[in-house]
Chains A and B, each alone.
Chain A
Amino acid sequence: MTDFLLELLSEEIPARMQGKARADLEKLFAEQLAAAGLKAESLQTFSTPRRLALIARGLPETTQAVSEELKGPPAEAPDAAVEGFLRKAGLTRDALETRDVKGRATLFAVINKPGRATADVLADAIPAIIRAFPWPKSMRWGTASQTTESLRWVRPLQGIIALLGGYVVPCEIDGLVAGNSTVGHRFHHTGPVTISGVEDYASALRAAHVIVDHDERASIIRDGAMKAARDAGFVLVEDEGLVIENAGLTEWPVPLLGRYDPAFLEVPPEVIQLTTRINQKYFVVRDAAGALAPAFVCTANISAHDGGKAIVAGNEKVLAARLSDARFFWELDQKKTLEQHAEKLKSIVFHEKLGTVADKVERVAKLARWLCEEGIVTAKPLPFRGGVGVGNESRVVSDAPTPYPSPEGEGLDRAHLATLAEQAARLCKADLVTEMVGEFPELQGLMGGYYAAKEGLDPQVAAAIRDHYKPVGQGDDVPTDPVTVAVSLADKLDSLACFFSINELPTGSKDPFALRRSAIAVSNLIFSNQLRCSVHSMIAAAVAPAMKIPAVATLAREFEAAASQFAGRPLAMTYDQNVAVTLVAFFIDRLKVQQREAGVRHDLIDAVFALGGEDDLVRLLARVHALQAFVETDEGGNLLAGYKRAANILKKEMPSPLEGRGGSREAAEGEGQSPTSEHSPLPTLSPEGERAFEHEPAEAALIAALDDAEPRAIAAIEAEDFEGAMAALAVLRAPIDAFFDDVTVNDADPAKRAARLGLLARFRSAVHRVADFSKIEG
């Protein structure tokens, strides 16, 4: 067994690429070994700005000798076939063996491959790894770059160490020959550093002021930055991303504390933090009270001979210039009101087919107003009466003040709320044309909020401008202030409606306009705020204004012309209806994906949604939660089994055009799409009809149970008490089981048979009052 060291020395590798480069090096190396039948006991990788290294321990000295057998043509085969086989095997005729295969003389080639020295394998592997290395961006350099075929690397490759058990593995790539020496720290060490093997690699470099282990550098930075802040009486704002980035920028990290003029603290803290972090890669610190303090921690790459004084002074100077720039933008932006800034949105294109940002703002403002006027977004959320699974039982029909997080929102009447929402919507994109957001696009929204507050606008309007992009991703805060909710919802609904109107749908991994995220944000806004509305009507309200966009109007004309030509009769669906239907389906699809993560079964969502009448998402989800709780109990499981048995018998005995795929199209259309209506085309049997013959006891019991359960289930559903509805249906479980045990459905008497099928159909439709159980899996 032996050990191997590989170091690829280059000019400074971007910090952000080093983590993946280590993983890629390990993967490529392991693949090369595996291809030769080798495996190391352990692989370790390291990186610094200037080197990428790998240590393999426990490598065999040679590969296994292998013997390979190839079966060839029969001995009497024509020469051409034998020659082909010889070429494939790389042997001559006399080296072949003849063996008996099922009574037939057949040629065999035995190819013995002796074990290969691991050094030879590595000599081939190293150049192959270098050539195949998947850098995100690579370049050519030097005299070799006369052609575009020359070696590419992330930055010029300067040297290779390849030591197997202390000996150099002889290999070469584009004139670069592997050896046993590298360089130390750029400034703390001159001359080559000679390495004898795996064991002294890290220590020899440490002596040359290079800490080769990235994790060790990261912990020096993490601990050192914390200590530097603490020593000055501050608390470091921890930032693991910055730790890793600084570890990728240094070979000998030295954290140092610097300060800046407290006068800059008039600029919003987010701006200071961002410019400090992004532009300078410094940590920020807080004072004991948690407020941003006028100091920072930078990470130097040298132990300066003045203890770092000059470095700190230099970094302080740079930060002062950055902050001075930030303050310049902050003051310049405030010379205009947001309304004046918003004027400029007329010249900013939102999307080439969808007009300007000003056009979008206009639509969002109207939609935000509509959401408030319709009472979808209200100052006080309508308490949800049923409250299953959403954890809001305490809210149920209570007269006590709701624990709504925004007390300012209370008491606003609809008209006032609508006015504020429209105002906020009109200003919400204005900060996009400010200098500060031009410099730091991440601050969109936030800056608008600050500027609105500075202007003295209503705090709810300022908050809505600030937060209307939220929620941005899973786990992001969901706005609860009604003005913000209205603007955020309107903004996202408008984007969805517009992009769907021009057929820009997400496909596969491509979602350039983040429409999936927008759809999930809409449902999060609805659930978190218990917004009671029909998805269909909300989407229709967003789609209608999109139809007025010229490019969309053109598409609509084309669609309608094409469709009427195809169908030869008036359209079943107009373009806006078509867009809305697609969008609702997309929406439900995203809802399923999102709810799956929350542990909600998608088949149950389908089962409730299939009822057709249910498009109030809050109620839909409550039903689904109740249903899930129910089907997971024994009672629910048994009722489901009973339902399936009943449904199967009905399907077999009386195929319904709705269920039977073979059913004629006309019948299906004629039947309509409302599954709450009687599913079965059975002759409707009056209660008298059911009683026209002597019922068997189990039959009578089921009828009685249905008579009792059905009205209770209906009442519970009307009261949005879905648990109650489930409980009402649960009592059917014993009677339906008994019915199947004791009663023959296929009675010889056609009247009895018809009556019993009718009874099963009644049972099925009773169950359908809560959900289409046929969609439930298992």
Chain B
Amino acid sequence: MILTLHSFWSRHGCLILQPYDMPMGAGTFHTATTLRALGPDPWNAAFVQPCRRPTDGRYGENPNRLQHYYQYQVILKPSPGDIQQLYLDSLTAIGVDPLLHDIRFVEDDWESPTLGAWGLGWEVWCDGMEVTQFTYFQQMGGFDCKPVAGELTYGLERLAMYIQGKDSVYDLDFNGNGVTYGDVFLENEKQMSAWNFEVANTESLFDAFRKAVAECENCLEAKLPIPAYEQAIQASHVFNLLQARGVISVAERQAYMGRVRELAKGSCEAWMEKNGWVA
């Protein structure tokens, strides 16, 4: 499936990239999305990104909710006029028949409070299940996107469930030879859910958050937007872990998200400056 998507999007002019090697909540955090969404230069890329969402952990008990899963991400800048059709063609390419399955574009305005970003678009439904997030970025890191990029984020496991006709992600056939997704990941889900929700040392997490913030500021002072942005990614992930541990109150939550947003915005600003782009 990934190979089919790679070849499809490669044919349509995308660079095929590799995952970013840091824990992050979504493919949108990849520098190939966030930073490249800024500025006037065209940019077309596709890549797989593993995502970690500690609060979505269900100890392996939910058929389609996981704390670690894979997204397939396509970014097309500027957004092509036929982007919806391209997307639908890519679904057909991986074996989703739109006259057998009910494909729908349902309003979903995307906003990332931690990235200072928002866009309009849809969640794409396949028989009532969200399989893709489709967004026209309007702002990133607080800056207007000029031009607007179209972002497609496929939920790989969910799509595979449709194609293979499986009711649970853990039953997915991994290799066509008896190995399932559950064989590979079920134990991870159980252990990681336990760690995320119950075990993770909150003191060291708070400490890690403070250190990431300090390091980001350090990088910004040195005018190094990419390492600064990496620290913002790190802070965001640590914040998600703290959320899962339930140690951040509603009031503090806003303050923490604001802190991460400042880091992301600062990195984007430094990136704009470095490239000589004006807001």
List residues of chain A with CB under 8 Å of any chain B CB.
11-12, 14-16, 49, 137-148, 154-156, 158, 186-188, 249-250, 280, 282, 298, 300-302, 304-306, 310-311, 313-315, 317-321, 324-325, 328, 344, 347-349
B19: interface (CB < 8 Å): no
Give me 24 A-to-B residue pairs in the complex whose CB atoms sit less than 8 angstroms apart, sorted by A's number.
A139-B148, A140-B138, A142-B78, A142-B148, A145-B145, A145-B147, A158-B81, A186-B98, A250-B104, A280-B128, A300-B102, A315-B128, A317-B129, A320-B167, A321-B62, A321-B63, A321-B64, A324-B62, A328-B58, A328-B61, A347-B251, A349-B249, A349-B250, A349-B251
Question: When the two chains form their complex, are residues A347 and B81 in contact, meaning their CB atoms are under 8 A apart?
Answer: no
In contact, A249 and B106 (Cβ under 8 angstroms):
yes
Is A314 a contact of B78 with CB atoms below 8 Å?
A: no
Interface flag for B113 (CB, 8 Å): no
Q: Assuming A140-B148, A188-B99, what are 16 further A-B pairs, CB within 8 angstroms? A: A12-B122, A15-B107, A139-B136, A141-B78, A142-B80, A186-B98, A187-B98, A249-B104, A304-B99, A305-B100, A311-B100, A315-B129, A347-B249, A347-B251, A348-B250, A349-B249
| Given A249-B106, A306-B100, A311-B102, CB of A141 within 8 Å of CB of B148 | yes
Q: Mark B83-118, 1 if CB is under 8 A from A, else 0.
A: 010001000000000111111111101000000000
9 tightest Cβ-Cβ pairs between the two chains A and B: A314-B127, A347-B249, A14-B107, A349-B251, A12-B105, A315-B128, A145-B148, A145-B147, A300-B102
A306 to B102: give the CA distance in the assembly, Å: 12
- Knowing A137-B109, A146-B146, A315-B127, say if A310 contacts B100 (CB, 8 Å): yes
- Residue B144 CB within 8 A of the other chain: yes
Tell me, rounded to whole Å, the shortest Cβ–Cβ distance linking A476 to chain B. 26
CB of A313, distance to nearest CB on chain B (Å): 8
Q: Chain A residues near B249 (CB, 8 Å)?
A: 344, 347-349
Does B126 sit at the interface, judged by CB under 8 A?
yes
Q: Given A11-B105, A145-B78, decide whether A324 and B63 contact each other with a Cβ distance below 8 A.
A: yes
Pick the residue among A142, A186, A298 that contacts B81 (CB under 8 A): A142
B195 within 8 A of A: no
Residue of B nearest to A350 (CB): B251
Give the nearest-CB partner of B126 in chain A. Answer: A314
Residues of chain B having any CB pair with chain A under 8 Å: 40, 58, 61-65, 78-81, 84, 88, 98-107, 109, 119-122, 126-129, 136, 138, 144-148, 150, 161-162, 167, 249-252
A525 CB, nearest partner CB in chain B, Å:
29
Given contacts A321-B62, A347-B251, contact A147 B146 (CB under 8 A): yes
How far is it, in angstroms, between the C-alpha of A139 and the C-alpha of B88 when the chains are bound? 22
The complex places the Cα of A143 from the Cα of B146 at a distance, in Å, of 9
Q: Please give me the residue from chain B that is nearest to A348 by CB atom.
A: B250
Instruction: Give the docked Cα–Cα distance between A647 and B101 (Å).
Output: 82
> Given A314-B162, A324-B62: A302 and B136 within 8 A (CB)?
no
Chain B: which residue is nearest A308 at the CB level? Answer: B102
By beta carbon, the residue of chain A nearest B122 is A12
Residue B128 contacts which of A137, A143, A298, A304 (CB distance < 8 angstroms)? Answer: A298
- Distance to closest chain A CB from B200 (angstroms): 18
Per the bound structure, the CA–CA distance linking A279 and B58 in Å amounts to: 19
Q: CA A304 – CA B121 in complex, angstroms?
A: 26
Report how far A22 CA is from B136 CA in the complex, Å. Answer: 24
Residues on the B chain within 8 Å of A282, using CB: 128
How far does the alpha carbon of A187 sit from the alpha carbon of B122 in the complex, in Å?
18
Evaluate contact between A325 and B58: CB separation under 8 angstroms.
yes
Q: Contact at A156–B127, with CB atoms within 8 Å?
A: no
CB-CB under 8 A from A324, the residues of chain B are: 61-63
Q: Shortest beta-carbon distance, A21 to chain B, in Å?
A: 13
Chain A: CB-nearest residue to B64: A321
Contact residues in A for B63 (Cβ distance below 8 Å): 317, 320-321, 324
Which chain A residue has the least Cβ–Cβ distance from B248? A347
* B61 surroundings in chain A (CB, below 8 A): 324, 328
Cross-chain contact A137 with B81 (CB below 8 angstroms): no
> In the complex, are the beta carbons of A311 and B98 less than 8 A apart?
no
B157 → A minimal CB distance (Å):
12
A318-B128 contact in complex given A139-B119, A304-B99, C-beta closer than 8 Å: yes
Q: Once the chains are docked, how many angstroms separate the CA of A300 from the CA of B104?
A: 9
Q: Of A14, A313, A321, A347, which contacts B65 at CB under 8 A?
A: A321
A314-B99 contact given A301-B104, A325-B65, CB 8 Å threshold:
no
Q: What chain A residues lie within 8 Å of B161 (beta carbons)?
A: 317
Q: Which residues of A contact B252 (CB under 8 A)?
A: 347
The contact of A302 among B79, B102, B107, B128, by CB within 8 Å, is B102
- Say yes or no: B84 contacts A11, CB within 8 Å: yes
CB of B99 within 8 A of CB of A187, answer yes
What's the Cα separation between A311 and B96 when bound, in Å? 12
Q: Closest Cβ of chain A: how far from B58's Cβ, in Å?
A: 6
CB distance from A501 to the nearest CB of B (A): 20
Closest chain A residue, CB of each to CB of B56: A325
Q: CA of A558 to CA of B14 in the docked complex: distance in angstroms?
A: 65
Collect the chain B residues with CB atoms within 8 Å of residue A186's CB.
88, 98, 103
Given known A-B contacts A187-B98, A321-B63, A349-B251, A143 and B78 have beta carbons under 8 A apart: yes
Bound-state Cα–Cα, A141 to B104, Å:
20
CA distance A304 to B99 in the complex (A): 5
- Closest B residue to A305 by beta carbon equals B99
Name B62's closest neighbour in chain A (CB-CB): A324
- On chain A, the residues within 8 Å of B251 by CB distance are 347-349
State the Cβ distance, A612 to closest chain B Cβ, in Å. Answer: 44
- Decide: A319 and B128 in contact? CB cutoff 8 A: yes
A301 to B125, CA, bound (A): 11
Cβ B120 vs Cβ A304 within 8 A: no
| CA of A249 to CA of B102, assembled, Å | 11
A137 touches which of B40, B98, B120, B122 (Cβ 8 Å): B120
* Closest-CB distance, B247 to chain A (whole angstroms): 9
> Which of A139, A302, A304, A325 has most chain B Cβ within 10 Å?
A139
In the assembled complex, which residues on chain A have CB atoms less than 8 Å from the CB atom of B147?
Answer: 140, 142-146
A448 to B22, CA, bound (A): 40
Chain A residues within an 8 Å CB radius of B65: 321, 325
B100 CB contacts on chain A under 8 angstroms:
304-306, 310-311
**Nearest opposing residue in chain B for A304, CB measure:** B100
Measured CA separation A681–B78 after assembly (Å): 85
Flag if B101 contacts A314 (CB, 8 Å).
Answer: yes
B128 touches A314 (CB 8 A): yes
- When distances are taken between beta carbons in the complex, the residues of chain B under 8 Å from A320 are 63, 167
State the CA gap A145–B121 with chains docked (Å).
Answer: 16
| A12 to B252 Cα, complex, angstroms | 37
Contacts of B120 in A (CB 8 A): 137-139, 154-155
A471 to B58, CA, bound (A): 37
Nearest residue (CB) in B for A346 is B249
A residues in contact with B119, CB < 8 Å: 139
Q: How far is the CA of A328 from the CA of B197 in the complex (A)?
A: 14
Residue of B nearest to A158 (CB): B81
Give the complex CA separation of A318 and B104 in angstroms: 15
Chain B: CB-nearest residue to A140: B148
Which one of B62, B79, B128, B145 lies within 8 Å of A328 (CB-CB)?
A: B62
Q: Please judge, given known A-B contacts A12-B105, A14-B107, A300-B102, whether A325 and B127 are in contact too, CB under 8 Å.
A: no
Residues of chain B within 8 A (CB-CB) of A310 are 100-101, 127
Q: Which residues of A contact B99 (CB under 8 A)?
A: 187-188, 302, 304-305
List residues of chain A with CB within 8 A of the CB of B104: 249-250, 301
Alpha-carbon gap, A325 to B63, bound state (A):
9
How far apart sit A16 and B103, CA to CA, in the bound complex (Å)? 19
**What residues of B have a CB within 8 angstroms of the CB of A187 in the complex?**
98-99, 103
CB-CB under 8 A from B103, the residues of chain A are 186-187, 301
| A325–B62 touching, CB < 8 Å | yes
Q: Which of B65, B107, B121, B145 has the most CB of A within 10 A?
A: B107
Partner of B79, one of A142, A301, A347, A349: A142
Residues in B whose Cβ lies below 8 Å from that of A300: 102
- Nearest-CB residue, chain B, relative to A306: B100
- The answer for the CA separation of A143 and B147 in the assembled complex, in Å, is 6
CA of A376 to CA of B48, assembled, Å:
65
Q: How far is the CA of A314 from the CA of B102 in the complex (A)?
A: 9
The answer for the CA separation of A344 and B245 in the assembled complex, in Å, is 13
